[in-house]
Amino acid sequence: MAGKTLYDKLWDDHLVRVNEDGSALLYIDRHLLHEVTSPQAFEGLRIAGRKPWRIDANLATPDHNVPTTERSGGVERIVDPVSRIQVKTLDDNCDTFGITEFKMNDIRQGIVHVVGPEQGATLPGMTVVCGDSHTATHGAFAALAHGIGTSEVEHVLATQCLITKKMKNMLVRVDGQLGLGVTAKDVILHIIGVIGTAGGTGYAIEFGGEAIRSISVEGRMTICNMAIEAGARVGLVAVDEKTIEYVKGRPFSPKEQDWEKAVNAWQTLVSDADAVFDEVVVIRAEDIQPQVTWGTSPEMVTSVVDSVPDPAEMEDPVKREGAERALHYMGLKPKQKITDIQLDRVFIGSCTNSRIEDLREAAAIVKGKKVATTIKQALVVPGSGLVKAQAELEGLDKIFLEAGMEWREPGCSMCLAMNPDKLGVGEHCASTSNRNFEGRQGFGGRTHLVSPAMAAAAAIAGHFVDVRQVNNA
Amino acid sequence: MKQFTTHQGIVAPLDRANVDTDMIIPKQFLKSIKRSGFGPNLFDELRYLDEGQPDQDCSQRPLNPDFVLNKSRYQGCSILLARKNFGCGSSREHAPWALEDFGIRAIIAPSYADIFFNNSFKNGLLPIILDEKDVDQLFVEVEANEGYQLTIDLENQQVIKQDGTALAFEIDGFRKHCLLKGLDDIGLTLEHANAIREYESKRKETAPWLFS
């Protein structure tokens, strides 16, 4: 019999029962909650007179709606009344049901996908779900993690299980070594460009190969985070020494005898050598250059040294129309050089790129320089209060502020513009977030997805530049 | 949950691939703490010429006359014909809530994003998968015939045209059963409460750190 993939192992470890039709009841170890997708779930529990199955498996924090400007006035001072109600509703629900919540002004508050790993609330071998598609992030720890809808949030609260079907296995292997100035973000954008935005639909993608092994745990989180942008609900990276080192000593991590026992169990969380994948995609690391998206889907991506494609050269009519529509929306011309795209705003943040290593990467580029005068705003939004504190300890905040950037409080911010941070109509933004959909960062806004280093370099130049040509890089 | 047995309705064609959930229901409407009332903001940025705000009276807003759902021939539609990878992007269940609140009962497309697909079933909204060539043909027929309707027979897993020809579709047995009966997943799962407890006690032995 063939060996098991990492996904097979995680699946088998959490199987409560299999129904006659092949659907399964899967046990959930960690349930993360935020204010946007949970209120209707709590309401559902209340109406049905149900209680959460296992309180201690849940961890909540508000992130999507919270303002990132000064907020010592607390929730009552959130200007937008609907945002305020949503944040308050999360606080009330967590208080009522006894769920641990890092409230808005707790230093541990932040983007839910930054907070989970930072606290050790995400551990190898766990199943982790959250009403947010970027839950795939936690797969960087060899945890089976994916986004769920609000009905499923209610289902997990009530039963600690999910009704689900097994996905297929895909291995994306990145062979060789990444070039200088090429980051985890470039790797995942390149992969999405190769397999397409629906390429991973129905699969759990394991990212492997020499290049993935050489990337830090935080970089792996960036990669798994965007698995969903390739259509895959689940992204995974096998456990290695880096994973175990990262998890060690965090508040929710196992202690003493449990630690030894856990580490032994975690070391098995790799795909067996003879495991069979339904699909294998091989990428050569040397082919990956710094990436920039030019369109309104993450698969509309190219390298910074290239140009915007010409839809007229596309054979598939649906693809051609999509590209034409995207260029119209983006205000770009076919064959325009990527480095000629002028920018209005820069956003460094989001669950994709707001951890300490991302901020270090950006700060290294801007150190001693000034943001171009044509840039209206360059926002730096740390992923959590603890990331913010660490960055300030290292003096990164000063580097950003001296360059003319804004240093904000943690939250999702301009990634999806549910709070006041948003783009104006027609504005181009170099963004370290994950989606360049129409209107995502604000009505009529034009998003270009890039790495933190590329965003920082673009802020200084006022347009895209190849970060490998920048002095500090 | 709303039952789905058979449904007949007007078909509206949304001719673009990769329709994402930000398009289906833009983020400013996700701030609601209710499940209902999203219909007027379905496809908000495509449907209206101005930028929509929560709690606005949408009947006073300027409509985009080119958008399919605004065309008089598709008024009252309840079946959406779409292209591949429909519903990609975020996990927001507000997307199926908005479609359902607008009056859409079924979608026909060659493929869907996983989370959206899953969320739809939880809300009595049936996402039907047909071959790309059948979908192409339906687009042609819908555009050529004003008032074009289809009948969906879930029990027999068929999309039936007005001339009586039928297109068969596949559906997971459990999901079909739940839709036909309008069953609530949670109630069904709790019938296995003992199996869940048994799993937990075994898991506590092998992985105690998950329970401390």
Confidence category of residue A324, pLDDT binned at 50, 70, 90: very high
Choose among A23, A151, A321: nearest Cβ to B122.
A151
For residue A167, the model assigns a pLDDT of 97
Q: How far is CA A57 from the centre of its chain?
A: 22
Is B106 in contact with B10 (CB distance < 8 Å)?
no
In chain A, residues with a C-beta closer than 8 Å to the C-beta of B96 are 149
Residue of A nearest to B86 (CA): A198
Which residues are paired to A28 by β-bridges?
A: none
Choose among B23, B172, B203: nearest Cβ to A438.
B23
Residue A422 in tokens: 């948003």
In chain B, residues with a C-beta closer than 8 Å to the C-beta of A197 are 18, 85, 88
Confidence category of residue A472, pLDDT binned at 50, 70, 90: low
List the domains of chain B with CATH numbers. Answer: 6-181 (3.20.19.10), 184-211 (no CATH)
List the domains of chain A with CATH numbers. Answer: 1-289 (3.30.499.10), 291-469 (3.30.499.10)
Q: What is the ipTM of this complex?
A: 0.94
pLDDT digits (tens, 9 = 90+) for A49-103: 999 999 999 999 999 999 999 999 999 999 999 999 999 999 999 999 999 999 9
A319 in B contact zone (CB under 8 Å) = yes
**CA proximity to B211, closest of A123, A91, A260:** A123
Q: Which residues of A are annotated as a binding site?
A: 351, 412, 415
In chain B, residues with a C-beta closer than 8 Å to the C-beta of A202 are 114
Q: Across the interface, do B22 and A83 touch by the CB < 8 Å criterion?
A: no
CA distance linking residue A108 with residue A383, whole number of Å: 10
Question: Which are the contacts of B85, defined by CB distance < 8 A and separation ≥ 6?
Answer: A197, A198, A201, A231, B17, B18, B19, B111, B112, B113
Q: Helix, strand, coil shares of chain B as percentages rounded to 5?
A: 40, 20, 40
For residue A21, the model assigns a pLDDT of 77
Cβ-count burial of A251 within 10 angstroms (0-12 exposed, 13-18 middle, 19+ buried)? exposed
pTM score above 0.90: yes
Choose among A133, A161, A163: nearest Cβ to B91.
A133
Question: Which are the contacts of A225, defined by CB distance < 8 A and separation ≥ 6?
Answer: A113, A134, A136, A137, A188, A235, A351, A352, A434
In chain A, residues with a C-beta closer than 8 Å to the C-beta of B84 are 198, 318
For residue B168, the model assigns a pLDDT of 98
Which residues are paired to B107 by β-bridges?
A: B80, B127
For A403-421, b/e burial (b = at least 16 CB within 10 A) is: bbbbbbbbbbbbbbbbbeb
Mean pLDDT value of segment B88-114: 96
Choose among A83, A159, A231: nearest Cβ to B186.
A159
pLDDT digits (tens, 9 = 90+) for A14-36: 999 998 778 899 999 999 999 99
A447 in B contact zone (CB under 8 Å) = no
Q: Hunting for tokens 């260029």 — which residue is that?
A: A327
In chain A, residues with a C-beta closer than 8 Å to the C-beta of B28 are 418
User: Does residue B202 surpass a pLDDT of 60?
Assistant: yes
User: Does residue A404 surpass a pLDDT of 90?
Assistant: yes
Is A396 in contact with A415 (CB distance < 8 Å)?
no
pLDDT digits (tens, 9 = 90+) for A113-172: 999 999 999 999 999 999 999 999 999 999 999 999 999 999 999 999 999 999 999 999
Backbone angles phi, psi at A48, to 5 degrees: -85, -5
pLDDT digits (tens, 9 = 90+) for A370-385: 999 999 999 999 999 9
Residue A156 in tokens: 């997990």
Which of residues 344 through 403 in chain A touch B, CB cutoff 8 A? Answer: none
A132 in B contact zone (CB under 8 Å) = yes
The C-alpha of A411 sits at a distance from chain B's nearest C-alpha, in angstroms, of 15
